[in-house]
Amino acid sequence: MCPGGRVGSQCEATITATAENGGVQLADVVNLAQKFSLFGDQWNPKIVGELNDFYVKLVKVQGEFVWHQHENEDELFLVVKGRLLIKLHDRDIQLDEGEFAIIPKGVEHLPVAEEEAHVVLLEPKTTLNTGDAQSERTVANLQWI
Ligand code: NI
């Protein structure tokens, strides 16, 4: 139902579009802790929301990922639990809980977490987790949770 009980064609279209791919519906509250409790696998981002041409994703990470860059997409990393180190070629970015950083398109980066970290990603829908470094760690079809 549309906000306030109103039924409008635009609202119906929005709900249909999100319902088809299992997405969150208008005005849903998303609880990060509850969503993170739904999965345990690492380096396998899950989609929890979409806005415009972006996805909001959750990922659990531990250890070292792979050096990669995204030719066309800027990528936001927000740490909600643990610590995440993002290595760049000229410096390291250390993110603690409650901190985020944006890696611009074309900048090669290597995420590393000594212990498991829980991270929110905000990035265009076209973003592949391994960017230009496709490998067995690439997840092309992300799951909605
Ligand atoms: Ni990346």
- Quote the number of domains for the chain: 2
Q: Which two three-digit tokens encode residue 130? A: 């391994």
Q: Kindly give the distance from the C-alpha atom of residue 3 to the centroid of ligand 1, in angstroms, as a whole number.
A: 36
Q: How many whole angstroms from 12 Cα to the centroid of ligand 1?
A: 34
CA of 8 to the centre of ligand 1 (A): 39
pLDDT value at residue 7: 44
Shared domain check, 69 and 103 = yes
Name beta bridge partners: 46. 58, 143
Q: What is the pLDDT of residues 89-130, one digit of tens each?
A: 999 999 999 999 999 999 999 999 999 999 999 999 999 999
Same domain, 42 and 55: yes
Read off the CATH number of the domain in which 98 is found: 2.60.120.10
Calculate mean pLDDT across residues 18-41: 80
CA 1 to ligand 1 center in whole angstroms: 37
Q: Ligand 1 centroid to 131 CA: how many Å? A: 6
Same domain, 21 and 38: no
Contact 42, 82 (CB under 8 A): no
The answer on 114 and 57 residing in a single domain is yes
On whether both 12 and 74 belong to a single domain, the answer is no
| Cβ–Cβ < 8 Å for 56, 33 | no
What's the pLDDT tens digit per position in 33-72?
999 999 999 999 999 999 999 999 999 999 999 999 999 9
pLDDT for the residue numbered 6: 42
Residue 22's domain comprises 1-27
Structure tokens at 29: 């509250």
**Residues 6+ positions from 84 with CB-CB distance below 8 Å:** 61, 77, 94, 95, 111, 112, 113, 117, 119
**Cα–ligand 1 centroid distance for 97 (angstroms):** 19
pTM (two decimals): 0.82
